[in-house]
Structure 1
Amino acid sequence: MNFQTLTIVDFISFGVFISAWVLYTAFADHSPWANQSLTHKMNQYRERWMQEMVSRDMRMIDTTILGNLMTGIAFFASTAMLILGGIVALLSNGTTVSQSIKHLPYAIDSSPALWEFKVLVLALIFVYAFFKFAWAFRLTNYCNIMVGSAPVKESDKSELELHAKCASKLSCRAGHHFNRGLRAFFFGSAALAWLFHPLAMLFASLVVVLVLYRREFSSTALLAMKT
């Protein structure tokens, strides 16, 4: 692609989009404030869940919960593939779609090369989301196997604790990748606004960061678990 087709506004908006995603991920997952997030709180419950699991005689309830989690992950993975199918359709009918968007108020006209670049960015985002959901699904499946292979509760305490620790790590990693996939969905919606106007993507990127921050660090769900 000839980058001369990108305007200054496109460069700035795309830079803000990438920066917002990278910086928010660093803040939410790797900063000292990460321990205050909803994800961190849920990881504590995942650890407690696996500790309770090894102390039970019957683990059918645990496998049922994991099965429900896998169903939710599979739903989002399938949705990502459906979205990718729609993105491929955008590429094949780019002229028609771009002409339709151009007639909307305040929309800008994009050259064919710039249009294809925008659509390919969208495709990469949802490919990334699919891989995250697929890996989360696989890790949850592994966690299911860990539950099935857990020692009986009469086993040595250290053996039970080690098994619970390993299972909880798998569960937490599954949750981590699932959250990354969901985050890609949010930022994918911001990238979608680029098809309309670069400033719309810039604004949408900031809105997505605010929404994600509120849900992960100041939501009523988090407050409820702190009480």
Structure 2
Amino acid sequence: MTWIDRLTLFSLFDLAALALLVCGWLWIGWRIENPPKGRPSVSWLMADFRRDWMKRMVERDPRIFDAQLVGNLRQATAFFASAAMIAIGGGLALIGNTEQLAGVAEDLMQDSAPAFVWEIKVLLVVLFLSNAFLKFVWSHRLFGYCAVLMAAVPNDRADPQAYPRAAQAAEINITAARSFNRGMRATYFALAAVAWLAGAAALAAAALITMAVLYRREFASQSRSILLRTPPRSKGDTAS
């Protein structure tokens, strides 16, 4: 059986739901990283806070608190990378044993599709998880770069290299966070892709729900409202 013949095993609704999932994943990522003017996403707001963090780090002595923060961020990326790797292994094992999956699906949904169909559906989940794993690993590496740059910031705030080095550390930190967020989004859409096992309608619904959840968290959440609040200036800030 050729690939063309195998594609006919999927209905137009299956292909449309798959296109919706992939396009939704690409669109929501682009919209979060390129928000409309005057309506920043949480990721954009947090980038400004990361820049402020590095400016405060120059003035903080000792900088143990900052080192602990970066260490915690690296631990989070390592945890999710490990979880993604385990999930990938489970998915690959499932691809090699789709007979049981097909039997369960036939009992639950009265669907007697060939094993190839189930393999493709599981492979889609594995592909999203693989993308998430690569993003988490790169984020972990970048947070390591950030730690090195932070260590290179002079202790004397009057040093001409102090704030430029801190700005470099901030941008690497932001890049690491961007990769981490991309990995999280890929994980969310991997969970949405699991719904394809229940049919095209379930996949389309899961894709729409995932996009709606991500959009709300980035553009209409309570945490975003808190980040947008402007704290009152202290007397020292007003005098300056």
Q: TM-score range by the shorter chain?
A: over 0.9
Which structure 1 segments of 5+ residues have no match? none
Indicate the SS of the match to 1:110. Answer: coil
What corresponds to 1:46 in structure 2? 50
What corresponds to 1:81 in structure 2? 85
Indicate the SS of the match to 2:224. Answer: helix
Cα distance change, pair 151–224 in 1 and its aligned pair in 2 (3 A): same
What corresponds to 2:190 in structure 1? 188
Amino acid at match of 2:166: A
Q: CA deviation at 1:183?
A: 0.2
Q: CA deviation at 1:181?
A: 0.3
Amino acid at match of 1:185: T
Indicate the SS of the match to 2:62. Answer: coil
Deviates more, 1:10-19 or 1:110-119: 110-119
Q: How big is each residue's C-alpha offset from its partner over 1:142-194, in whole Å with a ceiling of 9 and x where there is no partner?
A: 111111121112442x4222111100000000100000000001111110001
Number of corresponding residues: 225
What corresponds to 1:137 in structure 2? 140
Amino acid at match of 1:132: K
What corresponds to 1:202 in structure 2? 204
Q: CA deviation at 1:34?
A: 8.7
Instruction: Give the 4+ runs in structure 1 shifted more than 4 A.
Output: none
What corresponds to 1:169 in structure 2? 171
- Is contact 1:87–1:119 with CA below 8 Å preserved after alignment? yes
Aligned-pair identity (%): 32
What corresponds to 1:55 in structure 2? 59
- Is contact 1:57–1:153 with CA below 8 Å preserved after alignment? no
- Is contact 1:28–1:34 with CA below 8 Å preserved after alignment? no
Amino acid at match of 1:124: L
- The TM-score normalised by the length of structure 2 is 0.89
What corresponds to 2:10 in structure 1? 6
Q: Distance in 1 between matches of 2:55 and 2:166?
A: 5
Q: Distance in 2 between matches of 1:226 and 1:13?
A: 36
Q: Distance in 1 between matches of 2:71 and 2:161?
A: 25
Please tell me whether Structure 1 or Structure 2 has the larger radius of gyration of its CA atoms.
Answer: 2
Q: Distance in 2 between matches of 1:31 and 1:219?
A: 15
- Is contact 2:101–2:118 with CA below 8 Å preserved after alignment? no
Deviates more, 1:174-183 or 1:34-43: 34-43
Cα distance change, pair 169–195 in 1 and its aligned pair in 2 (3 A): same
Which structure 2 segments of 5+ residues have no match? 230-240
Pick aligned residue for 2:19 from 9, 15, 18: 15
What corresponds to 1:101 in structure 2? 105
- Is contact 1:70–1:140 with CA below 8 Å preserved after alignment? yes
Q: Distance in 1 between matches of 2:141 and 2:56?
A: 23
Q: CA deviation at 1:65?
A: 0.6
Indicate the SS of the match to 1:150. Answer: coil
